[in-house]
Amino acid sequence: MPNKNLLSDLTFLGGSSRLARYIGRPLYHFAAVQAAGGVLMLIATVAALVWVNSPWQDSYFDFWHTHISLSIGNYHFAHDLEHMVQDGLMTVFFFVVGLEIKRELVVGQLRDPRFAALPAVAALGGMVVPALIYLAFNSGGGGQNGWGIPMATDIAFAIGVLSLLGNRIPNQMKLFLLTLAIVDDIGAILIIAINYTGELSGNWLLTAGVLLGGILTMRQLHVWYLPAYLVVGVAFWLAVLESGVHATIAGVILGLLTPAKPLESEDDARRWANWLQMQDVVHSDDARRVEFHIRESQPVSLRIQETLHPITSYVIIPIFALSAAGVELSGDLLSDAMTSPVTLGVAIGLVAGKTVGITLFCWIAHKLGWVTIPKSLAGAHMIGVAMVAGIGFTVSLFISRLAFADDSIADESKIGILAGSLIAAVVGLLILSRTERQPPASTKHLQMETHE
């Protein structure tokens, strides 16, 4: 019987050295915690705020404005580190988002309209009402373009807050929030594509279209060599970047094109494994063949997502937070932010807009007979999880960077994001901690069904 422990004693982490026991394995188990990515993001945010408000604040801005240039023939690529994070690293993040959306649409919760109905209605309310509240403060003003900022939900922070309550939070509530956040991500992607796209270049758009056609052709021909897709995918990202469409949309498109169904069935993979076990002599070619069939019993999207998720959670998002959350908290800025329509629109949109939008839309849909609200999400439970959905950190900061060229307005929006997200987390946690614990629901009742 093979050992199911992933930390084999043949490796460093599974070894008996003090370094492995006291540093390696604790870090490994920390990374396995669902809230670990949110903790690192929070640390990076605090580090950015401390750095900017220290005597070394000039080094913060000098570092992120360091320019990187590359010339290939007549093509010249030049961006600073700040934009490389925004247009490059965050494309990988949105690629993972695209993978998650594709998986949910093909084999996950969004495949069943009956299950998706309630979180989809909730997500719609959680986008529309915050945007309207923001526009009520900023319509016709210099901050009007930031209406998409309070519409986002940061799933890493939100799930991290729910995880603090342990078993008091039923799995159904986590599923509801996860599905809501995925629909919310779809909305954010559409906002970025439509509202924050610059002047378009026809030639680069044509190039991107040709490369996209090449990717589709490779799929039709059953080309299964991932490095080939990597080369064409990077070229596609570059073409989208130069076309005027925001580069992160390339990541989403590539994620949605990644197959979410396995090439091989689990039964066939098991037969190949049994065949290999019966061989008297195992040759390397046989091992490679069986390894291929076993590997392909898992969808490509899932394998890539499992590979990239730690990179995005523990590297890319903390780096983005470090680059985006740096706000000089001077007395003048804080004083201006207290009365700034941008700050108020973002903060109130995240806290009140999300809570009212999610609960109101769900209540209306329930009264109209479109959805059924399960007991574990009724009353204070719905209000609490709706409040937690107001944690809009990562994507809100990202949209803020796209919306405002004026640094002072951008800083006011960041203060609104930080304040609103903090209030939503604390108040949502207090509400949920005071709700009565629900008994575990059966598998049958985990489905949030619409009325027939």
- pLDDT the model gives residue 8: 62
| pLDDT of 32 over the 70 cut | no
CB atoms within 10 A of CB 389: 28
Picking from 91, 103, 93, 94, the residue whose alpha carbon sits closest to that of residue 259 is 103
CA distance 250 to 255: 9
Please report which confidence band the pLDDT of residue 30 belongs to, taking 50, 70 and 90 as the band edges. very low
User: Residues with Cβ < 8 Å from 24, sequence gap 6 or more?
Assistant: 12, 13
User: How far, in Å, CA of 389 to CA of 159, rounded?
Assistant: 9
Which amino acid does the sequence have at 102? K
Which range of 15-24, 89-98, 296-305 scores highest in mean pLDDT? It is: 89-98
Beta bridge partners of 77: 70
Quote the pLDDT of residue 26.
58
Q: Are 394 and 415 in contact, with CB atoms under 8 Å apart?
A: no
Q: What is the DSSP letter of 89?
A: I
Task: Work out the average pLDDT over 291-309.
Answer: 80
Contact 325, 397 (CB under 8 A): yes
Residue with tokens 């575990």: 440
Considering the entire predicted model, what is its pTM?
0.78
Could you report the per-residue pLDDT of 411-451, keeping only the tens digit for each? 889 999 999 999 998 999 898 888 766 554 443 443 444 33
Above 60 in pLDDT, residue 356?
Answer: yes
Rounded distance between C-alpha atoms, residue 214 and residue 386, angstroms: 42
> Of the candidates 60, 348, 94, 341, which has an alpha carbon nearest to the alpha carbon of residue 196?
94
Residue corresponding to tokens 């903790």: 39
| Mean predicted confidence (pLDDT) in 86-91 | 86
Task: Please enumerate in sequence order all residues whose Cβ is within 8 A of that of 235, keeping only pairs 6 or more positions apart, or say none.
Answer: 211
Q: Angle at Cα 184 formed by Cα 182 and Cα 186, nearest 5°?
A: 75
Cα(70)–Cα(67) distance, integer angstroms: 10
**Other beta carbons less than 10 A from residue 384's beta carbon:** 26
For the chain, the C-alpha Rg in angstroms (whole number) is 24
Q: Does the structure show a pLDDT above 70 at 365?
A: yes
The chain-wide mean pLDDT, for the chain, equals 81
Which whole number is the average pLDDT over 351-357? Answer: 94
Q: How many CA atoms lie within 13 A of 86 on its CB side?
A: 21
Give the pLDDT confidence score for residue 441 in this predicted structure.
47
Residues 313-335: what's their mean pLDDT? 83
What confidence tens digit (pLDDT) does each residue in 158-194 have? Answer: 877 777 777 777 777 877 888 888 888 888 888 888 7
Per-residue pLDDT band at 9 (split at 50, 70, 90):
low
pLDDT tens digit string along 127-148? 999 999 999 999 888 888 889 8
Output phi, psi for 75, to 5 deg: -90, 130
User: What is the structure's pLDDT at 451?
Assistant: 37
Cα–Cα distances in Å, from 224 out to 100, 218, 304? 20, 8, 13
CB-CB contact of 348 with 133 (8 Å): yes
**Among the listed ranges 214-223, 232-241, 299-308, 406-415, which one has the minimum average pLDDT value?**
299-308
Determine the 3-state secondary structure of 157 from DSSP.
helix
Asked if 121 and 372 count as a contact pair (C-beta separation under 8 A), the reply is no
Closest CA to 398 of 40, 86, 186, 49: 86
Please report the DSSP string for 244-281 in residue order.
TS-THHHHHHHHHHS--S-SS-HHHHHHHHHHHHH-SS
**3-class DSSP state for residue 295?**
helix
